[in-house]
Structure 1
Amino acid sequence: MFHRGLWNEGKKQSRQLALLAGAGVAAGGAAVAQAYVFARLVDGVFLKSLGVGQLRHWIYGLIAIMVARAAITWIIETVGSRLALAVKTDLRRRLLTHLAALGPVHGGAERTGELANLLGEGMESLDAFFARYLPQLAVTVAVPLLVLAVVAPIDGVAAIIMLATAPLIPIMMALIGRWAGELHQKRWQVLSSLSGHFLDVLKGLTTLKLFGRSREQADIIFAYSEEFRRTTMGVLRIAFLSSLTLELLSTISIALVAVTVGLKLLYAGIGFGEAFFILLLAPEFYLPFRLLGGHFHAGAAAVAAAGRIFDLLAQPVPEGAYGTLPLAAGKGITVELSAVSFCYPGRDRQALMDVSFTIPAGKRVALVGPSGAGKTTVVNLLLGFAAPARGAVRVNGQDIKSVCREDWLRNVSYIPQFPHIFAGTVADNIRQGGRGSQAKVVAAAEAAEAHAFISRLPRGYDTLIGEGGLALSGGEAQRIAIARAFYRQAAFIILDEATSGLDPRTEKAVRTGLDRLLAGRTALIIAHRLTTVYSADLIVVLTEGMVAEQGRHEELVVKEGVYSRLVGAYRGTA
């Protein structure tokens, strides 16, 4: 069983690999030494009638070797576990970093449930490869070679039998392994699909209930589960078949060695001590192969998961949207899009084509247009989730590609239409990893009109919210998001329509917080309801990825262009 990616990961931990190799050699030496000492003891007691006093040093030697073998086994298991932990930690960190680098634009097509399963159970399955299969492989290489080196000078025929029968076991493992590998791959794919679909069902349970489709989805999950059961049972059947085959081959091989040695013993071709020594070594010769076969299928499961892990790591990270230069100082933040074009991966139609407009420092610019016009793409470019294919995004006169990521994002706050509430306390959600005082958190919440409802929560700012905690209403979540922006004190605000779907009273509270937040700051407002853009300093109208027109509300209405038609359509349905 070979997987280039896993072997390369193992080679990075060269110290542990060297220890495993050394321990494997030591295990072989200890096995040979134990068989030799035990053969001498039996020969001395039963054939030479030696007393305990004469055999004392052999008894002590046997005890010491047995202790040494136990210690070597412990070392192999410990080093293997540490190797597995080091590889899993490094791979998990790299995969998370890579997914973050891909961002929501290039990595957004991946199913959340599948990724969660991959980072959890998928990573843990690698433990079998590095903690059990790889250490046993080291022992399997070392022990048979040492046994052959010792047996060959004593009995060449027995050594030839061992050498001839030993390859049969790896060959059989390879033949069965190819079949098992396909089943392990299928099993992993079914499990990933089941995890992804199950999470989708949980997230959309309300919709499924409303449309009466929950029972149908339960049947689909049951079908996935049944398929997973069938593939798992198929893997187990192969594992049992493999074990039976290995045991049968080992038993027949040991029997052949025993017959050969017995015949030589009968016809005085070899002494009892040497014959018994070889008979003790024969099982030691085949035992590593049998144990390797037992760990083979656990390793195959790791290889199946590793395929998906390394496929994700191989996905090219998009062209860097940031550089290393500090953000140029200025009176506020000025953002300019200059002839920007962008196309999403795997799509023929461009999302943006030669888009140009400026967001002056301290001004509010509204971005409007029908669905699919490119509004979200503009946000993705400003947040660095993607880089323009052509043109440039400039901040205070600098191309954003040259600006340090931390410098730029420190000046940006994004308030989405449906803000995410993380599992944790209210204060943690407002801080978002910051280290400010509780007073700063409270001040941010007060400015966002959130302090009143937070104070009514069971434990105030220490109340657990998000997954596993208290659920917040849409308006409460929006005010938490606004409080985050106040806490950051960012100079540039990107606001995706934050008041849609709220009742009038909650909308008023949210708008009060937003007006307070946007005062004196540069803001880009993604508008879905045109009532929110009438007072903007500039309105940019997008249609089919292009700027159709831009200006103030009064100017655009009289032009009777795209914006005028949008206003008319909105008033007709309002």
Structure 2
Amino acid sequence: MKQVQQNSSWKLLIQLIKETKPPRLLISIAMVLSLLTTIAGLAIPLLTSKLIDEGSLQSLDGRNLGGIAAAFLIQAAAGAVSVYLLARVGQHVIASLRNRLWNKLLVLPVSYYDSHQTGDTVSRMTNDTGVIKNLITEHLVGFITGVISIIGTIGVLFILDWPLTLVMFSVIPLSLLILIPIGRKMVKVSRGLQDETAGFSANLTRVLAEIRLVKASNAETMEYNRGRIGINKLFTLGIKEGVIQAILSPLISSIIIVILVLIIGYGGIRVSSGEMTAGELAAFFIYLFQIIMPITSIASFFTQFQKTMGATEKIMGILSLEIEELEDGIQKFDTNQPLTLQELTFSYPSSDPILKSVSFSVQPNSVTAIVGPSGSGKTTLFSLLERFYSPDTGRIKLGELSINDLSLKSWRSQIGYVSQESPIYAGTIRENICYGVHGQDKELTEAAKMAYADIFIQELPDKYDTEVGERGIKLSGGQRQRIAIARALLRKPNILMLDEATSSLDSKSEIVVQDALQNLMKGRTTLVIAHRLSTVIDADQIVFLEKGMVTGRGTHNELVNTHELYREFAERQLRVPDG
């Protein structure tokens, strides 16, 4: 079973590398140069043995010395170039892999991010690709040249003196019986360390991203204890890895000493009997080190390879996921048509239905307000309209077309979305307003003025080039909302969705933002989620959602007269205090 998994892992890695289309010419040149490096390395001990056997400085052969110098030069030059070329190939593979993975992450549906922590996904992009990069750029070169060197060296040793070679290799079967179980244990610990590191990284990302919540909740001690558990697990696994290395290193050293003793003892006997020369015995020692060094590289390769298998499986898991096809579907369509929701039912995985047979129509260039208690499915409804999710049953139509038949990119380009806490990115005000569109300065300024954002922007030292800080922390809530409205205006959407866009603002900011929203709503089909009925009583249509179902629909006056819960909402929120 393990062998099948190993073969499958090899195939996965090879498939992953093939899909990055590595430059074959560079690989071929690198392989030829690696072979040349090995041949030059194999020639050096033979030439050295002749020098030793010549016995005196006076009898030194200039051609022999020149041959050694040339072999060293070829080995160094060819080795350097081959290592550079293989490293370049490795960097190409990793750059291509990261490009594929980044492209994939951007077109995965929102449902993927609902079920995966951001830190874990970031770990796939950085840590896991880094593990593969290390295998290719650092260990693969040593593995390839090491294998070629060992095969060539063993061949030369058998030609040089096969009895001594057999004695030397008699230690290997016994060594493998000891080393293989230890190696398997190292693999298990390495994979555990890799998984634990990814989990620890995900936890760090989560905590540091919400550091203000941590501090406001006095949760420093709690998060420290959680982090300490992760650190202790990493410490324990690191100690286990250290113990295995502590056993492995002296064991390998002992095996090398045993081999040296065998060569010195048995080789000395063969030199004494005249069956081999002193120069050949010296060559044997040099060849021995030409085997030992590559074996170390090969062992490192297999240790890294085991780490890479876990990383490969996780990356392939992401690359095999279904994506949002942004361009497929109808590219051009008329948005000046009714938007109809027909019997929509939707539930998140492993949860009860959030929406149940929701049906209503939105007329073009009208305002439809969606109200109801918290948890009734209002924001989920907006997510279905954005096509972040697909309904379990039912459909949404624009005129006679299902919105699923429309190009996702074209459909979303028609929508302007302003939420309760519109996302602001670290960067300048200009970059935030122009995010996703290419607005000219004139259009940018007009959008900012209509959003009443230009007022405070002009008072800032760097105006539109002012840095807003991570998640817009340097701006007030009202300023962030006005930038979000300017962003929506710059998109020039035909359909507008406002998700409680003023609920978190103070009364002064709310007045300014409401004025900006009025500018944004002109001539557009608008859907508004609002807890405050004062903001939607003039809507053309109010839809009341209750426990995922539409329980009322009409104007404000109609619902006050016909819908008991809406009437309670209205009386509670709109009642004028007695003077």
Residues 424-483 of structure 1: per-residue CA shift (max 9 Å, x gap): 111111111433222221111111000011111121001111329861111111111000
Equivalent residue, structure 1, for 2:346: 342
CA contact (8 A) 1:246 1:290 kept: no
CA distance in 1, matches of 2:324, 2:356: 18
CA distance in 2, matches of 1:108, 1:437: 35
Equivalent residue, structure 1, for 2:250: 244
Are 2:547 and 1:544 aligned?
A: yes
Are 2:326 and 1:317 aligned?
A: no
Equivalent residue, structure 1, for 2:188: 182
CA contact (8 A) 2:189 2:237 kept: yes
Equivalent residue, structure 2, for 1:29: 39
Deviation, 1:379, is 1.9
2:17 aligned partner, one-letter code: G
Equivalent residue, structure 2, for 1:77: 83
Match of 2:132 among 123, 126, 130: 126
- 5+ residue gaps, structure 2, are 1-5
CA distance in 1, matches of 2:575, 2:388: 36
Alignment map for 1:149-298 (pairs within 5 Å)? 149-161=155-167, 163-166=169-172, 174-298=180-304
**Match of 2:369, SS?**
strand
Deviation, 1:486, is 1.1
**Match of 1:424, SS?**
coil
CA distance in 2, matches of 1:14, 1:167: 39
CA distance in 2, matches of 1:90, 1:172: 40
Alpha-carbon distance change, 126 to 281 in structure 1, aligned in 2, over 3 angstroms: same
Equivalent residue, structure 2, for 1:376: 379
CA distance in 2, matches of 1:136, 1:168: 25
CA contact (8 A) 1:81 1:127 kept: no
Match of 1:329 among 304, 312, 334: 334
Match of 1:414 among 412, 417, 428: 417
Equivalent residue, structure 1, for 2:15: 8
CA contact (8 A) 1:431 1:487 kept: yes
Alpha-carbon distance change, 544 to 115 in structure 1, aligned in 2, over 3 angstroms: same
1:112 aligned partner, one-letter code: T
**Match of 2:328, SS?**
coil
Equivalent residue, structure 2, for 1:403: 406
Are 2:556 and 1:553 aligned?
A: yes
Are 2:121 and 1:115 aligned?
A: yes
CA distance in 1, matches of 2:448, 2:537: 27
CA contact (8 A) 1:463 1:470 kept: no
Residues 61-83 of structure 1: per-residue CA shift (max 9 Å, x gap): 22222122223332343234323
Equivalent residue, structure 1, for 2:469: 466
1:239 aligned partner, one-letter code: Q
Alpha-carbon distance change, 79 to 300 in structure 1, aligned in 2, over 3 angstroms: farther
Deviation, 1:410, is 1.8
CA contact (8 A) 2:338 2:398 kept: yes
CA contact (8 A) 1:247 1:290 kept: no
Alpha-carbon distance change, 260 to 432 in structure 1, aligned in 2, over 3 angstroms: same
CA distance in 1, matches of 2:471, 2:168: 60
CA distance in 1, matches of 2:399, 2:437: 26
Deviation, 1:302, is 4.0
**Match of 2:460, SS?**
coil
Deviation, 1:283, is 1.8
Are 2:547 and 1:532 aligned?
A: no
**Worse-superposed segment, 84-93 or 293-302:** 293-302
Deviation, 1:366, is 1.8
Are 2:518 and 1:515 aligned?
A: yes
**Match of 1:353, SS?**
strand
CA distance in 2, matches of 1:171, 1:518: 77
Alpha-carbon distance change, 172 to 491 in structure 1, aligned in 2, over 3 angstroms: farther
CA distance in 1, matches of 2:176, 2:29: 24
**Worse-superposed segment, 162-171 or 440-449:** 162-171
Q: Percent of aligned pairs with the same residue?
A: 26
2:384 aligned partner, one-letter code: L
1:398 aligned partner, one-letter code: L
Residues 329-353 of structure 1: per-residue CA shift (max 9 Å, x gap): 35x36432222333323x1423333
Deviation, 1:111, is 1.8
Equivalent residue, structure 2, for 1:503: 506
**Match of 1:107, SS?**
helix
CA distance in 2, matches of 1:308, 1:572: 58
CA RMSD of aligned residues (A): 3.0
Alpha-carbon distance change, 428 to 48 in structure 1, aligned in 2, over 3 angstroms: closer
Residues 199-222 of structure 1: per-residue CA shift (max 9 Å, x gap): 333344444434433233223323
CA contact (8 A) 1:181 1:304 kept: no
Match of 2:59 among 44, 50, 53: 50
Alpha-carbon distance change, 377 to 87 in structure 1, aligned in 2, over 3 angstroms: farther
CA contact (8 A) 1:322 1:402 kept: no
CA distance in 2, matches of 1:300, 1:559: 68
- 5+ residue gaps, structure 1, are none
Residues 228-285 of structure 1: per-residue CA shift (max 9 Å, x gap): 2332333233334333333332332344344333322221223444443333212212
Q: Normalising by structure 2, report the TM-score.
A: 0.88
CA distance in 2, matches of 1:379, 1:100: 21
**Worse-superposed segment, 485-494 or 298-307:** 298-307
**Match of 1:465, SS?**
coil
CA distance in 1, matches of 2:540, 2:459: 38
Deviation, 1:312, is 3.7
**Match of 2:276, SS?**
coil
Alpha-carbon distance change, 421 to 439 in structure 1, aligned in 2, over 3 angstroms: same
**Match of 1:155, SS?**
helix
CA distance in 1, matches of 2:264, 2:307: 37
Q: Normalising by structure 1, report the TM-score.
A: 0.89
**Match of 1:367, SS?**
strand
**Worse-superposed segment, 391-400 or 142-151:** 391-400
CA distance in 1, matches of 2:391, 2:397: 11
CA distance in 2, matches of 1:527, 1:258: 89
1:133 aligned partner, one-letter code: H
Equivalent residue, structure 1, for 2:3: none
**Match of 2:523, SS?**
coil
CA contact (8 A) 1:318 1:387 kept: no
